[in-house]
Each structure stands twice: as C-alpha cells, then as structure tokens.
C-alpha cells in the first residue's frame, strides 16, 4: 500500500513537471503548433517505447535475474549434497536390493547428453526404491541425522529455496525422518508395523535425494566441469567410485 502511494505521488509530480515545462515553452516562444506537433509525435512513439521497455528490456532483465537466482539456488543445493546429501544416498543405495535395475544408468560419465540425463530422471521419478531396513543401522542413522539437525533447519530457513518446491519437499522428508528416529529410544525389538513405517520414511527421503542429485549433476555438467568431475568420482551409486583421479 505504501509503495502504491509513493508511485501515485511520483506520477503526479512528473505530470506536473511536464506541464510546467510545456507552459514555460509556450510562454517563451508562443508557438502552440510546435508544442502540439512534438507532443503528438512523442505520443505516436510511446507504444514503441512500451514495447522496448516492457516486452524486451524487461524480459532480458527478468532472464538475468532468474539466472542469478538459479545460480544461488544451485550453490545452496551443492552445499547440501556435500554436507549430507551424498553420504545419505550412499547409505541408502548400499541397502537397496532394487538398485541394480538402474545402477548402470546412474554411473554417469562426461559423455552423457542433457536428453539422456533427462530420460534417466524420468525413470528415477517412477522408480521403486527398495530399502532393506533390516540391514540399516538405524541407531547410527539416528545420531548422524541428529548431528545435522541444525544444518537442516538453516537450509529450510533459506529464502532462496522457497521457489524450489521439490527440493524443499526433500528437505522436509529428511527432517521428518530425523524426527521419527529421534523419538525412538531404542531400535531393538521394534514391531513390524513400526519398521514398515520407518522404511516408508527412508524410501521417501531416498527417492527425493536421488532425483535432486541427478538434477544437480546435470547443472554441474553444464556449468562447472571441474565440480562435475569430482561428483563423478564420488558418485554414491558407483560401487567403484574413488575421489582419486585415475589414469
């Protein structure tokens, strides 16, 4: 409301200033024909100015702003995967009995095209992630996530992520898993129904991690080849991954 009022005041001042200048011109030269001739010419060019300013320049500025915002967003996403996303994917994928059906496609290389990565992404969205919860050390996972709770809260409070709905959903899924595990004092002799519930929470976080990881890899490949190289060498889906550069 305050911004609209300021715009109205500015508009009135500018119109009054324009009228004053025209009046001063007429008072000095007494040439109304000249004034109205130029006024009509300016009005005729006004639609072209609107086209240039609102439809071309504005679009260019919007694209630049969007690109800058996406860069900031991907920096935040990169921090997440470096801090906890990739380690979590490694934990979950190691106990996924279904992963061999798609593992070969997830062992990416420099030669993968955007269309190929997009195709893999579609498979990941509908993939039936498996979690062998009997082999997962839930106690260790509980304390690992507890140690990252402050980091997760900071991520959720980051205004840059508000426009990225799917990544925000991922953060909420991981945060929920951390909360579920923190409310269990012991994981010995849990009923089958509770284990199934925890398994569902893990699968939700696991699926979100996989999809967002692939999207982030696509971004790195197109913009930061040196970061993409390290990400390939630390691929959580590659059993033979190593940060060392081979020959």
Query: Cα–chain-centroid distance for residue 99?
Result: 25
- List of residues 6+ apart from 35 with CB closer than 8 A: 22, 25, 26
Output b/e per residue, 184-212; b: 16+ Cβ within 10 A.
eeebeeeeeeeeeebbebbbbbbbbbbbb
- The DSSP-derived string for 61-92 is HHHHHHHHHHHHHHHHHHHHIIIIIHHHHHHH
Are 213 and 236 in contact by the 8 Å Cβ rule? The answer is yes
- Rounded to the nearest integer, the mean pLDDT of the chain is 85
Angle, CA of 92, 96 and 100, to the nearest 5°: 125
Count CB atoms within 10 A of the CB of residue 100. 8
Least confident of 22-36, 93-107, 182-196, 200-214: 22-36
The residue among 27 and 199 whose pLDDT is bigger is 199
Report the pLDDT averaged over residues 216-230. 90
CA–CA distance, 94 with 104 (Å, rounded to integer) = 14
- Domain edges within the chain: 2-61, 72-233
Query: Cα–chain-centroid distance for residue 160?
Result: 8
pLDDT score at 3: 59
What tens digit of pLDDT does each residue of 49-91 get? 766 667 776 677 667 776 777 788 888 999 999 999 999 999 9
Look at the pTM and tell me if it is higher than 0.85: no
């Amino acid at each position: 409301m305050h911004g609209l009022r300021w715009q109205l005041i500015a508009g009135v001042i500018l119109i009054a200033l324009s009228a004053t200048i025209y009046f001063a011109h007429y008072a000095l030269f007494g040439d109304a024909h000249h004034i109205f001739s130029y006024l009509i010419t300016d009005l005729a060019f006004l639609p072209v100015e609107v086209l240039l300013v609102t439809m071309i320049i504005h679009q260019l500025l919007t694209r630049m702003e969007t690109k800058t915002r996406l860069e900031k967003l991907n920096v935040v996403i990169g921090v997440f995967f470096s801090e906890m996303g990739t380690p979590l994917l490694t934990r979950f994928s190691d106990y996924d009995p279904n992963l061999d059906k798609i593992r070969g496609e997830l062992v990416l290389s420099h030669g993968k095209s955007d269309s190929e990565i997009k195709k893999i992404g579609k498979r990941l969205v509908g993939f039936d992630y498996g979690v062998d919860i009997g082999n997962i050390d839930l106690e260790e996972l509980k304390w690992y996530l507890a140690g990252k709770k402050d980091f997760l809260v900071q991520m959720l409070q980051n205004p840059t992520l508000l426009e990225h709905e799917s990544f925000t959903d991922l953060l909420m899924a991981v945060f929920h898993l951390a909360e579920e595990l923190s409310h269990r004092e012991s994981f010995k002799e849990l009923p089958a129904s509770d284990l199934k519930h925890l398994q569902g929470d893990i699968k939700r976080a696991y699926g979100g991690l996989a999809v967002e990881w692939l999207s982030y890899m696509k971004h790195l490949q197109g913009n930061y080849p040196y970061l993409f190289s390290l990400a390939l060498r630390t691929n959580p889906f590659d059993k033979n991954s190593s940060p060392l550069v081979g020959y």
